Amino acid sequence: MKLVGYLKVWEEAKTLIQQLYLKAQDQKSFSMVVEALLLRAKCTTIEGELHQTQKYYNPARITAAEKNLGLLGHKVDAEQKSFEAEFDKMQDLIRRNTSIQERLEHVRMEEYIKRSSENGKANEINQ
């Protein structure tokens, strides 16, 4: 029962990301287009469609570059590098037939560790 509810929420989240992407395109909000593409990349990674993930990074990078969105361009590069570093781990999770929920928790943990590491580096610089 819990898994069914979780999958329903997951599908709703993907629908909302798609709506965000289309709305951002209509409004020519290029920063939101890039952010929506990054969210789509995360979704395909979590779903185990690792080879589909790459197709979202390239247009995100191109849009960021063409529209002079420097910080977002760096974010795209950082997320793609993180994806590439995690590729083997995600493949292993998929091979072990882990649930989407477990994969999402793995991604959350990796992001938490990354943010904590970055905050630690910032604190070292400030001292």
Q: Tens digit of pLDDT for each residue in 87-119?
A: 888 788 778 887 777 877 877 787 777 777 777
Number of domains in the chain: 1
Q: Sign of torsion, CA 69 108 55 80?
A: positive
pLDDT tops 70 at residue 126: no
Q: Which domain holds residue 31?
A: 2-126
Question: CA separation (Å) from 105 to 46, 95, 111?
Answer: 9, 17, 10
Tokens of 85: 């570093």
What pLDDT, on a 0 to 100 scale, did the predictor assign at position 20? 96
Return d(Cα 55, Cα 96) in angstroms, integer: 25
pTM of the predicted protein model: 0.75
- pLDDT given for residue 39 in this prediction: 95
**Each residue's pLDDT tens digit, 4-60:** 677 888 899 999 999 999 999 999 999 999 999 999 999 998 888 888 888 999 999
Write down the pLDDT at residue 50. Answer: 83
Tokens of 93: 């999770």
